[in-house]
Each structure stands twice: as structure tokens, then as C-alpha cells.
Chains A and B, each alone.
Chain A
Amino acid sequence: MATFEATELDILNPEQQALLWSPRVKMFVQGPPGSGKTTLAVERLRYLLRQGMPTTAILVLLPQRLLATPYYQALRDPTLGPAGAVDILTFDGLARRVIRLFWPLIGERAGFAHPTRPPVFLTVETAQYFMDHIVAPLIERERYFEGITIERSRLLSQLLDNLNKAALTGIPLSEVAERLKSAWTGEAAHRRVFDQVGECVQRFRSYCLAHNLLDFSLQIHTFVQHLYPQPAVQAYLFERYRHLIVDNLEEETPIMHDLLSEWVRHCESAFIVYDESGGHRIFLGADPHSAVRLSDTCAYRWEFSRPLVASPDVLHLAYQIGLSLNRDSAHILHWLDETAAPDFRRILHAPGDQECRFHPQMLDWVAEQIECLIRREGVSPGEIVVLAPFVDDALRFSLLERLVARAIPARSHRPSRALWDEPAARCMLTLTQLAHPHWQMQPPKFDVILALMQAVAGLDLVRAWLLTEVVYRPHQTPWLSSFRNVQGDTRERITPSVGERYEVLREWLLNYQHTCPAGEEMVDHFLGRLFGEVLSHHGYGFHHYVAIPPAAPGTSHALDNARVAAQLIESARKFRQALEMVPGLSDALPPGVRFIQMVQRRLLAATYLPDERDTSKKAVLLAPAYSFLMTNRFVDYQFWLDVSSMGWWERIYQPLTHPYVLRREWEVGRPWNDEDEFNTRQEALYRLVVGLAYRCRRGIYIGISDLNEQGYEQRGPLLRAIQSALRRVR
């Protein structure tokens, strides 16, 4: 195997260039972020297309869809011809595709009770629904999980996480409880909780098999254990996808690495990218150590050691923080030695003597600094990112409002947000309840007021209140009475024109009731019609921009409303389809009722997948730090919010699962002790800091407030590490 050292993308030596542009070559490319690996991978894709390789023969595999942007951009290059058919997939996307294709072959063998019926792929939300269906009676009647203090949705997601981890690492499901139990060092009586975990995940799996439901874990399990070993499937995959491009291999799971090891041997060409400082998705089973195995399957291994983006001063900060955290930072030092006296104090900015005692003061300081960078130094807003360990709605709102007030374009990265928190979704669901009185879900009066206010253009809160007061009669049939019966002073106050619009909406709802027989309603159909036939029309709230607080981010906008409506409809459709697979479930309670209950319990989320054509890249981005890392973006300036927060150091997903104990290499039977806990947290924080530093060109601003949002003083490890670093270089 030949090893090449490349320092800059555009000065690949002729031999390397020749290799990059060879049709049959298998390369393993590793290096720090920003050293040009993905650029090379994209170049490789372009080369394959230029060479006239059939687009269907190329597969780009990525750990998540967010990373697909540069590949899609390349595919849009008109000089490459019609390249749209190149598959850019994630592992589970690939699994779903193959399952659909080969279902008749394996449905029965994989243990599904109805192999002749099509499979139903569950979303995270519908999986939670069915898990809740299984565990709720156990919690209520058998007092399962007593002694655990956790919100229901978190409990469900942790149970599902156990299933997913087992599938991604290839651990038998029956081993999950045993692993968790044997690693537990707390009170012995607590171990029964892990038995309950084991029982719940087994029950869930049986339920899914009995009803042809495939949650994420069963998709992976079915694909890996039942499909991939089939010669027919391998023949299909190996013959169809002869050219593989795999980016961010370190974020993938060992199962995927196993599979790829074999695949690479059979394909004509492979270009595999491995990020040395990655492995951030450890909570999703990422295993960077296992990923390195793939290098043995490739004829060539290129190592890029020099980051092209990050400034030496920024890397010096990462190096110093590494020292504070007692981590091995030698790989950074190796590179820093080549430059002249890097000093992180030149790029690290913190609030000066003016102490930020309170959280909002920190946000003010951040907004001021951003304004200063943009106005005085001419930095593009898209070159600034604000990062926090978590971004909740209150933080998002507070910061974005400050930026909007300064006329700075800003956006936030939200992987998901409960549909119930979307005003447009609440409006549509309230109208759904009104249209289905036989469901006996009378919305509270205030919900009706807000729904009418949003649905009918020109209806303000006061008039909506007055209108609801006179027309909403939940104890009569129909619940909504006609505006035509409203007379005198009240009629004039509401105004006849608004009343007429209300009347049209009401009649539409009544007409729906009359034409749709009870028991045959499909909420997704209803919502689609409501949006298409009424709300999106002139005179109704989703038609065009309604002048709701202009300076308030998060408030409705017509496009946003349409997007939320689409998500709500999609969510309702998937939910209905999943429920239809379980005989008898719909008899007890209409699917529409179950759906609304799920939304109200905040178990259904609107997902926000950024569009690669998104023009808002010119805006300041607020994102959770890990999410930002996974977008693989590079910026001039980063703001780290709340560096004193423990959130930068916390291990999520407790107490019913364990990301490390459920890893493949974990020695079963070994207790997880405090040293393990401490070291993994230190390591995770260090990797995060290094990952961020590699993605920063010019400067890091740290936001500090003495008291967090709750009024607690915090002094988390990140702040302490920075303070130690400062003290060291004084």
C-alpha cells in the first residue's frame, strides 16, 4: 500500500492527481477537518461523471443528509450532464430501499407475521407511539420504572435508543439488559429496572414483527442480518453500485464498517473519507476506531496533516484546552510547531471587566459583538455562528430577537420542534377538533379564539374573542353557530366582512362533517383539504404574510405556515398508515383522536431539514454545538454561549440506556465506573473543542454569565479549562 502526504488540495502531486482521476482506484483519505478531504471526494464524483460512468452505478454514502450539500451542488453542474440519478444515501436510507425491494424474499424469514403485506416504516414519532402503547399499561398497572424520575417522552426515546444501539452494533437484543445491569454500579435494587428495559424492548420488537412495523432498529437489523447475507442482495448491491464514495466514515457504526469492508472488495472504485478528529455521533453508535479498519481494504491511503482552514491561534486554544483537560493534544502540537509562536489570546474574546451576571446580559453582549463584527469589520453574517450545548426555544427566541432588532439576518438550526409549539399546527388541529364533534374533543375556548384569529384574515384578538364568545357553543350541535344569527352591536364590532369570512370557514367545516361519514375520516386528508380549499385562499390566514409582530422571530409567516401545514399533513399520514397495520387499534379510538393526543403530548415533531438552496446562509446561525459540527461548515467566527454551563460536558441519554456500555467493544460484565464516566466526558468535550477549532478561521468569542437561566451559578469544565489555559500562558 502506498501512502501519500498531501498538504494542499491544489498542489496534489501529479501521481496523486493521476490516482484521483483513475477509474479503478480504492483510496482511504484521512485528515483533520478542513484539510480538503470532502473537496477531493466531490472532485472524485465529478470525475466519475465526467468519465461517463452510469449515474446509477455511483453511490455516495453519508452518515446524515445534512452532509449531502456539496455533493448535490456538484450534481447541479450543467457541464456534467444529467447527473440527477446518483444516489446519495444514509445507511438507514439504503436499508429501507433494499428492504422494499427484497421484501418478498425475506419478509417471512425475518420473522414478520404478514410477509405478504407491505412493510410500514415507522418514524421516530410513530415508533414512540407504539412503544408508549406497550409500556403505558406496564407503568400504570405494574409500576414499572418506579424510582426513575423521567418524563414519559424521554423514557420512550431511551427505550428505543437501546433497540437502535443493539441493531447498529450487532448486539443481540437479549443482551441489552444484561450489559446495562452488569455495568451498573449504583444501588443493587435498581437492576430490576434494566430487566424491565429488556422486557419492554423485546415486547416492542415482537409487536413490530407481528404487525409488519419497521422502526429504525428493525430496518437496520433486517437489512444487516437477513438481507445483506443473501447472495441475491449482494449481487444486486455490488453489481449496481460499482463506485462508492463514503464521507465521514468515522461517524458510522461498526455494522456499517463490517458491511463496507466486504463491499469495497467487490466494487470497482472506492473513495473513503475519514475525519481524524470526528466520531461525535457516539450517542448514535459512531465508532471511529472501527472505521480505521477500512483503510486495509484500500490500495492507497492518503494522510493530510495540515488543516487549511483553522488559524494557528485557534488551534492553539484547542491545544491548551486539551492540556487543561489532560488530553493528548500532540497531534495539534505537531502542526503548531511549524508556525511562528501561535497565541490563542489573539483570537479569544470574552466579556471584559463589565461582568455578565445574568443570562440576558450575556446575550446582549453577544449581539453587540456580532453587530460590531458585521458593521465595523465587514464580516458577512453567514461567517458567524453562535453555538450552545442546547438551543431551546427561549434561547432561540431571545437571541434572534436581539439580532433582528439590530437588523442582522439570523436563523437557527433546529433539528426538530414539537408540532404543538407551532401556532399554525395548533390552529389546524383546533379546526380539526371542531370538524369532528363526535370525537368529543372539545377545544378550550381560548384555543378556538386563537385558531379563528389565525385562520381568518383581519381578525384581531379582541374581535376573535368577541366572535368566539357568541358563536362557540360546545354544548350544542353544531359547536359553531352562524354569524348570520349575530345581530346588533356585536355584529358591528366584529364587522360583517370578517363575519362573512368566518361564515365561509364554518360552512366548509359543516359540509365536511356532512360529507365524510363517521369512522372513515382520515386526518391527513382533512388537513390537506382544509389548507388547500380554505386556509391558503385569499381572505384566510395562510394566504399571505399576516402582519404579526414583525420584529418577532418565530412568529408566523405564510411560507412557514405552508411548511408547517405540509409537515403536519405528512406526519398525520404516516401515523395513520402505521396505525392501519394494527388491526383493532383504530376501533377503540379513531386514529385522528390518537394523532391529536400525540401532538398535544408533544410526541410529534416538525423536522427541519435545511434546503441546500437555502439562501439564508447569509445569516448568522444559532445552533447546538454538535449539530454545527455535523454540518461540516467552516466559518470565520464562532460564539460559544454559556461556557460555564455543565451542558458542554454532560452525557445525555440516562438513566435507561448507555452509549458506551452498548458499544461492540465493551467488555460485558465490566462495571462502568466513575473513571470511565469522567474520562469519556473529558474526551467528548475535548473532541468537541477540537472539532470546533478546526472549523474556525478567525476568532472565538466566549459568552459567560455568572448565573444560568435558572438562577444557578455554574462553573463547568469548559470554563475551567479555558481559565487554566489563560493562567498557563500568562
Chain B
Amino acid sequence: MTFIPRLRQLEVVEDYLANGGKMAISAVPGSGKTHTLSYLAAQLVVNKITEDQEVLIVTLVNAAVDNFRLRIASFIKEMNLLPGMGYRVRTLHGLAHDIVRQRPGLAGLSEDFVIVDEGEAARILEDTVQDWCYANPDFSEYYLTREDMSAKSRRWVLREKWPELMRDIARAFIKRAKDWRVTVEQLQGYLAAASVDLPLARMGAEVYADYQHRLAARGGVDFDDLIRLAHHILTIDPDFLARLRRQWPYILEDEAQDSSRSQEDILRLLADHPEGGWVRVGDPNQSIYYTFTNASPQYLRNFMREPGVRCWELPHSGRSQPSIIRLANALIEWTQRAHPVAALRDALTPPLIEPSPPGDPQPNPPDAPAQVYLVSYAYTPEQELQAVVKSVRHWMAQAEAHPGATVAVLVPSNRRGAQMADALRQAGIKTVELLDNPPATRSAAEILGHVLRHLSKPTEGLHLKKVFEDWQSTRADTFIPLEHGRAISAWLERLRYIEGYLWPIDGNTGEGSLPSEVQSDARTASLLAGFRERVRRWQAAAILPVDQLMLMVANDLFTEPADLALAHKLAVELRTLQMLNFDWRLEELARELEAIARNERRFMGFSETAYEPRPGEVTVATMHRAKGLEWDRVYLTSVNHYDFPSAQPEDTYIAEPWYIRDRLNLQAEALEQLRVLCEGRPSAYMEGAATQQARLDYAAERLRLFYVGITRARRELIITWNTGSDDQRPKGQALPFAALMRWWENQDK
């Protein structure tokens, strides 16, 4: 689709083409910033750079990379030039990888250094923390001293909760230390010089040291190291930096409100020089990654105030119908003027969203106040699921009333998303998930895991049954009656003499014990014979190195390019794992695949291709993943005061476990201890202050998340809430939601 820039967008692009330098663009939701930035990139590629230079575009998440690449390519094609040259779109990790790969020796790395996957990094950290906890059994005493806790509860907490909490603290601590580029040695020096004891920082530093040591022994670095080392290389070799500055004379940074210190520093090194061009586009109101990462909108705000930075606003948005825009603006105004906590009043700031002016090439949908539903009813979680399912089904049944329209259900967490997706699927509704681990990753790993599991214990009928079910599900070309498939599954599960079926000595495969109707069906018999042949092939290949075995199995099972690519990556990963864990055999590797299939950890999958909402299906997404996307109809769910707290007395926080003394947020306290240490003021640490501040930060971020959710909707918006799970105190409607309801009702009046 051809993009016709609106006047303000054109002005921004023209200003930059004429003047270059540093520019900050504050863009409201739906203002077309991706289009504008892509358009600017294409113009720079065509008009401003030489053959050996590139415009560097830095985005926040992998999913956005493809979007940018496709858009820039299409603009360049429209200018009758060859796409694919003159620009590079990267996430910060991708950029760091590019940098380190060029001069690994400067970072003490060999050229074939390994990037340790998040799973392996988590495992190393888990082992490290576990060892630390064994060596420091008294550490928990200091924080687990709630008087009302029974000895039994205490034991339970120590067994079930404490290790996980310690891991989370250590992970956040190490991540932050790396973002600030504080080395283990520096940290140890700070601690030795400190006049007061900072136990969490001491724990963090010790785990950090051990963790780094274990990583180095594997010849690997983790994702955060990659960024730290990229910065390191740039600072120690000015010639290399100068070369990269020449190579990337323009840097366009998207989602700059979620920039971290590392990102800011690396881009500043590359772009902040007299000839450098740096455009940072963002919306501080959409900063929603502070809690999970080291991101902060403050970096963008500070940049806007720097001398020499030209600031532009893109206040017009053609995305949503005017009533939805008014609702989003009302949230900003309520926050600014009426939020009961003064410290949160800057959580959302102007500019307000303005509908596109008359005659605009990107007009808003027509105003329809009746299409905004703010549901005050106090649903239980289950009721809310059913209400949404019912509503979606009803809406989809009337497809002719809204041809081509798209719909999404937005949830605050992955867990809730999985429940929602299951409920929709059970109702027969076609559902797409945009959660942390895409289903494709889970399923490819699961299927391969089943095969490895079978090979590691080939006498178990249950394993063979699972392999058969996977095999059958990939044979779209061979249809057999459902009951035949079930009968074979049951038969395989009970099969006592598996060798007789797979490797018959006398020609008797034992299939005579299958139900007669199954035996007599030619297609079923053929499927079963084909299955036997494949399994024999895989069994014979069990002697091969695991990567080759996996590739063979994957080639037999998968046809989709993304599945095959993922299997290839999994194969290489498993081989690396086996080299790192010498005593691992197929059983342990199968367990690893099952972990990837089961858990929620991020595996650098191949499914993060550009997502496009499609009519006829419903998308279930976390509100975080929904950023940058839009649908005609949006359900915003679970808007209660647990998922969206507002620093009120009745609010509870996930980061403040009940079993910790004074309900401290230990993660926040650990990071605060790190901060005061690095600033050389260890005695400035005051226990509890960071917990309080974390509440405010979290509440502010959730407020912005609510704003992001509202602004995903083009025409129709439904907001619901629930009372929380049964084992907790009933939750109330989120404060900002209640405020919006009042405002909306007043509008009606």
C-alpha cells in the first residue's frame, strides 16, 4: 500500500534531509511513526549516503525488524532502486552482535565464540545460585523472619519459593550490573571499601563472579555480555569506532522511550559526533519495559533537552475513532490532574492525541461512541473468560456487518493469555497467540523431544505412541479415520514386544492384535507401515552425533521452512549442549527439548516474522506484545487493581512476596544496593525505600500499559475486569479504569 505522508510527517522528513544532525520526535500512538521513520530511512539511503555506507535503524524487538525492512524496501523500490542495500535494521542485540563479530579479539573472544542461549544461561545461573545458597545457608534468616510464619510454612518457602526468588534477584542484579558495565572486579572493590554491609549486593556480586567464570569456561557470552562487550570494543579502539561512524552516518532509533543506558551509550558513541546523524523517535507515554529490563523513558526526555537537538511532535493520529482518542486523552488528563498519588501524575504526559485534520491522507474511522464498552461488572476470572468468548463468537458470527475487520483480546500476562486462548479454541474460534514463546517453537521442540525420548528408551510403548501421534499429525496427505488413529495409539501404548513390531524376525509384526477394521483398512495399514519404516530409520541413526540425528528426524517430519529452520537451530544447540555437558546422552537432551517445549523462557525462535492481523481469527496477545499493532476491535481484560495497581493502600504487588520480612521487594532492594555502591555512597542505602519507589514505578508503568492497550483499538473497544483468583482477596476495579468510567458516564450525561 502506498504511503502518502501527511503534512507534518513531510515537514519532519524534509527538515531532517535538509539539516541532518540530532532530532527527537515525540509521536503519539497511531501517528505513523514507523512509516515516517521508514520513509526517512529510504530517503536517506537514496539521497544522502555513499555506496559503502548504511543507514542504521535500531528497533526494540525482533518482531519490528521485519516490518521496517519490508517498508524501507518497498519505498526504495518505488524510487526504482534495488532494495536490500544501504540500510541495516537491527535490535540492540543484533547490532552488538554485528560489532563484536568484527573484532572479537579485542573483547578477549575467539572468532567462533558462543552466544549462550537464554535457557543455558538460566541453567548456569540456577546452578550458581544453588551453590551459593548451599554455601550461605544463613542468608535467608535475615529476610524470612516473619513472626507469624510457622516452621512448616518456613520449610515450604525455603524449598519451593526461596530458590526461585534468589535466582530472580541474581538475574536482575547481573543484568543491571552489565547494563552499567560494572565488572566483577569493580564490584568486589566497591564492596571491600564499603563501610556498611549490603547483603543483597554481596550476594549479587558473588553470584555474578561465579556465573561469569562458568560462562568463560564454556567459551560463551550471554546476551547482556554481547552488549557490554560491543560498548567496550568501541571505547578501546577509536579507529574501529571511526570506521563504524563512517559506515553508519545516520542512526534512526525507534521506540526510544524504551532505550536502556547501554543502548543510549552505544548509539551515542556511534552517532554523537559533529558529522553524526541521530533521530530518536518515541512516545514516553508508551514506555512499558522498565520493570523487565533496564529501559527508561528518562533517556529520551533528557535527549530532548540537549542543546542542538531539534524536537518535533507527531500529534495527529488516524488510527482510532474519535471516541477512543478522547478516552485515551481523558486518561492522560486524569493522571495529570487527579491521580491520588502526586508522584504518579507525570506517568502520562501531553501531547494529547489529535485526530487527523480534514483531508488528511490517513483519516480516522468515523466517530462511534456506542462502540466503546466499559464493563463495570465484577466478573470472576472464569466468568470474564466466558464473557469474552461469548462476545467474540457473537461478533465473528456477524462477519458481514464488519467485513475485513480484525479483533484481538489483550491480557496482562502470558498465563492469562494461555487461558484465554484455550477458552477461545474450545469454543471453536480460530485463535492466534502473540505470547512469549510462539506455539511453533514449542511444538517443534516437543515433537523432536518425543523422538529423542523414544530413542533413549525404545522399549516404552508410551513414548512410541507419542511419536506416532506426532508423525500422524504431520502427514496431512494421509487421511485415516479418527478412530483408527486412536486405536493405533492405544495399541502402541500397550505394545509389549516393541521389537516384534519394529524389527520382526519372522515377519510377524504383531499387528494382528489391532482391531479388525483397522487392519483391513488399506490406508491405515500403509500409514502404519510407513511409520515403522521411519522409526527403524531413526533408531538406526541413534548412533549418529545428535545434530545429525535431529536433522534427519526433522527432515522426515517437517515441511514448513520455519519448522525446519528451527529444528536446524535446535540441532546445533543440542550439539553445543552435549559438548558443554559431556555426560549427556539422548535422555538428557530429550529433557532439554521438553523444557523448551514446556516453559516460558525465550528461545531465539524463527517465528518472529512480521505479524499481520487477519480477519476471521482472533489474536490473543499480552498488552506488551500488542505494542505497535492495531485491530478494529479490541478487548482489554483483567483491568483490576492487582494487574494495574495505583500505589494505593489496598494494592498488592507481585514483587512483594508475603513471606519476606516487611514485604520487601528484594529485587528492587538489591538493585538499590548496587546503585549506591556504584555511586560510592553505600551508607546512603535505606532499607524499604527502594520497595516504595518500585511500587510507584510499577504503578506508573501499568498506567502506561493501560494507555497502550486502549490505543490499540481502531473502531471498537471493550474493557473488562475480574476479581482475581479465588485463593486471594477479591480484587477491585483498577483505579484509572474506574476514573475513566466516571468520565465516560459524565460525557454521556
Query: Which of A92-100, A203-211, A670-678 is the contact stretch?
Result: A670-678
Q: Of the 9-residue stretches A55-63, A444-452, A529-537, A683-691, which lies at the interface with chain B?
A: A444-452
Could you tell me if A460 and B111 are in contact, using CB atoms closer than 8 angstroms? no
* The residue from B82, B112, B218, B539 contacting A723, defined by CB atoms under 8 A apart: B82
A447-B585, A674-B243, A675-B239 known; A460+B499 contact, CB < 8 A? yes
Stretch of A112-120, A130-138, A432-440, A712-720 contacting B (4+ beta carbons < 8 Å):
A712-720
Q: How far in angstroms is the closest Cβ of chain B from A100?
A: 36
Among residues of B, the one whose C-beta sits closest to the C-beta of A361 is: B561
Shortest Cβ-Cβ A-B pairs, 9 listed: A654-B105, A674-B239, A358-B565, A655-B105, A151-B219, A462-B499, A461-B539, A423-B543, A674-B240
CB within 8 Å for A360 and B564 given contacts A446-B585, A461-B540, A712-B97? yes
A450 touches B543 (CB 8 A): yes
Interface check A466, CB cutoff 8 A: yes
Q: Please judge, given known A-B contacts A446-B587, A450-B542, A495-B505, whether A463 and B499 are in contact too, CB under 8 Å.
A: yes
What are 25 A-to-B residue pairs whose CB atoms are below 8 Å?
A148-B216, A149-B215, A149-B220, A186-B237, A357-B609, A360-B568, A393-B575, A394-B571, A421-B545, A446-B585, A453-B543, A454-B543, A466-B499, A548-B543, A652-B111, A654-B104, A655-B106, A678-B243, A710-B604, A711-B604, A712-B94, A720-B52, A724-B52, A727-B82, A730-B82
- Inside 8 A of B239's CB, which chain A residues have their CB? 185, 673-675
- What chain B residues lie within 8 Å of A450 (beta carbons)? 542-543
Binary interface encoding of chain A residues 601-644 relative to chain B, with 1 for a CB under 8 A from any of its CBs, else 0:
11000000000000000000000000000000000000000000
- Chain A contacts of B105 at CB under 8 A? 186, 654-655
Contact (A713, B582) CB under 8 Å given A149-B108, A149-B220, A423-B544: no
Question: Are A461 and B110 neighbours in the complex by a CB distance under 8 Å?
Answer: no
Q: Find chain A residues with CB under 8 A from B305 CB.
A: none
A453-B543, A493-B497 as given contacts; A460 in contact with B109, CB under 8 Å: no
Chain A residue numbers with a CB within 8 Å of B605 are 711
Contact indicator B572/A394 (Cβ below 8 Å)? yes
A357 — which chain B residues lie within 8 A by C-beta?
A: 561, 565, 609
Asked if B528 lies at the interface with its beta carbon under 8 angstroms from chain A, I say no
Q: Out of B81, B102, B110, B237, name the residue touching A150 (CB < 8 Å).
A: B110
Mask of B212-242 contacts with A, CB within 8 angstroms, 1/0:
0001101111000000000010001101101
- Whether A185 pairs with B587 at a CB distance below 8 angstroms is no
What is the CA–CA distance of A433 and B85 in the complex, to the nearest angstrom? 57
Nearest A residue (CB) for B82? A727
CA distance A674 to B237 in the complex (A): 8
B571 to A, closest residue via Cβ: A394
Q: Is B743 an interface residue (CB 8 A)?
A: no
A281 interface contact, C-beta 8 A: no
Give Cα distance in the complex from A673 to B572, angstroms: 34
Question: Which residue of B has the minimal Cβ distance to A402?
Answer: B555
Query: CB within 8 Å of A: which residues of B?
Result: 51-52, 65, 81-82, 84-85, 88-90, 94, 97, 101-113, 115, 215-216, 218-221, 232, 236-237, 239-240, 242-243, 455-459, 497-500, 502-503, 505, 536-537, 539-545, 547-548, 551-552, 555, 561-562, 564-565, 568-569, 571-572, 575, 579, 582-583, 585-587, 604-606, 609
**Are A555 and B541 in contact, CB atoms less than 8 angstroms apart?**
yes
Contacts of A462 in B (CB 8 A): 458-459, 498-499, 502-503, 539
Q: Is the beta-carbon distance between B112 and A154 smaller than 8 angstroms?
A: yes
Instruction: Other than A185-B106, A185-B237, A324-B51, give 10 A-B pairs with Cβ distance below 8 A.
Output: A358-B564, A359-B568, A392-B572, A427-B543, A495-B505, A654-B104, A674-B243, A711-B604, A727-B85, A730-B82
Asked if A68 is at the interface (CB within 8 A of a chain B CB), the reply is no
Within 8 Å of chain B (Cβ to Cβ): is A472?
Answer: no
Question: Once bound together, how far apart are the Cα atoms of A146 and B108, in whole Å?
Answer: 9
Binary per-residue interface labels of chain A (494-530) against chain B in the complex, 1 for a CB within 8 Å, 0 otherwise: 0100000000000000000000000000000000000
Interface contact B539-A460, CB-CB below 8 Å: yes
Chain B residues within an 8 Å CB radius of A149: 107-110, 113, 215-216, 219-221
Contact of A724 among B51, B220, B536, B544 (CB under 8 A): B51
Q: Judging by beta carbons under 8 Å apart, are A724 and B85 in contact? A: yes
**B91 to A, closest residue via Cβ:** A713
Q: A556: CB under 8 A from chain B?
A: yes
A495 to B543, CA, bound (A): 22
Contacts of A454 in B (CB 8 A): 543
> CA A600 – CA B569 in complex, angstroms?
24
Residues in B with CB closer than 8 Å to A324 are: 51
- Asked if A650 is at the interface (CB within 8 A of a chain B CB), the reply is yes
Contact of B544 among A398, A493, A554, A723 (CB under 8 A): A554
How far apart are B601's CB and chain A's nearest CB, in angstroms? 15
Cβ distance B83 to chain A, nearest Cβ, rounded Å: 10
Nearest Cβ on chain B to A103's Cβ, whole angstroms: 37
- B579 / chain A contacts, CB cutoff of 8 Å: 602
A190 partner residues in chain B, CB cutoff 8 A: 108
- Is A72 engaged at the interface, CB distance under 8 Å to the other chain? no
* Contact call B497/A394, Cβ cutoff below 8 A: no
Whole-angstrom distance between the Cβ of A699 and the nearest chain B Cβ: 21
User: Interface centre among A421, A547, A555, A674, by most B CB within 10 Å?
Assistant: A674
Q: Are A401 and B551 in contact (CB under 8 A)?
A: yes
Contact A150 B505 (CB under 8 A): no
Of A358, A427, A465, which is within 8 A of B458 by CB?
A465
- Which residues of chain B come closer than 8 Å to A584, judged between CB atoms? none
Which of A358, A495, A554, A654 touches B562 (beta carbons < 8 Å)? A358
Within 8 A of B (CB), among A692-730: 707, 709-713, 715, 720, 723-724, 726-727, 730
Roughly how many angstroms separate A462 CA and B502 CA in the complex, as a whole number? Answer: 9
**Which of B111, B240, B568 interacts with A709 by CB under 8 Å?**
B568
What sequence of 0s and 1s flags, for each residue 459-479 of chain A, a beta carbon within 8 Å of any chain B beta carbon?
A: 011110110000000000000
Residues in A with CB closer than 8 Å to B215 are 149
- The contact string, 1 if C-beta is below 8 Å from chain B, for chain A 529-562, is 0000000000000000001110110111000000
Q: With a CB–CB cut-off of 8 A, which chain B residues contact A726?
A: 82
Neighbouring A residues of B575 by C-beta, 8 Å: 393-394
Whether A21 is near chain B, meaning CB under 8 Å from some CB there, is no
B52: which A residues are within 8 A, CB to CB?
Answer: 326, 720, 724
Q: Which residue of A lies closest to B537 (CB)?
A: A549
Complex contacts, A398 vs chain B, CB 8 Å: 551, 555, 568
CB distance from B502 to the nearest CB of A (A): 6
Name the B residues within 8 Å of A466 (CB-CB). 459, 499
Q: Which residues of A contact B102 (CB under 8 A)?
A: 646
* Residue A187 is within 8 A (CB to CB) of chain B in the complex: yes
Give the most central of B110, B537, B586: most A CB within 10 Å.
B110
A713 touches B541 (CB 8 A): no
A403-419 to B contact mask, C-beta < 8 Å, 1/0: 00000000000000000
Interchain CA distance A466-B562 in the complex, whole Å: 38
Q: How far is the CA of A154 from the CA of B220 in the complex (A)?
A: 13
Complex: A385 Cα to B585 Cα, angstroms? 35
A655 touches B540 (CB 8 A): no
Cβ of A91 under 8 Å from chain B: no
Task: Kindly list chain B residues whose C-beta atoms are within 8 Å of the C-beta of A266.
Answer: none
Q: Least Cβ distance of B177 to chain A in Å?
A: 17
Bound-state CA distance A392–B571 (Å) is 12
* A655 touches which of B104, B115, B583 (Cβ 8 Å): B104
Q: Are A150 and B85 in touch, CB under 8 angstroms?
A: no
CB contact under 8 A between A393 and B606, given known A149-B215, A730-B82 = no
* Separation of A555 and B547 alpha carbons in the complex (Å): 13
Q: Given the complex of chains A and B, what is the CA–CA distance between A147 and B537 in angstroms?
A: 45
Kindly list chain A residues whose C-beta atoms are within 8 Å of the C-beta of B583.
444
A387-400 vs B, Cβ < 8 Å mask (1 yes, 0 no) = 00000111001100
Any B CB within 8 A of the CB of A573? no
For B458, the chain A residues whose CB sits under 8 A away are 461-462, 465
A574 contacts B by Cβ under 8 Å: no
Q: Say yes or no for A345: interface residue by CB 8 A criterion.
A: no
Contacts of B585 on A, CB cut-off 8 Å?
Answer: 444, 446-447
Q: Tell me the bound Cα distance from A162 to B116 in angstroms.
A: 29
Query: CA of A654 to CA of B106 in the docked complex: distance in angstroms?
Result: 9
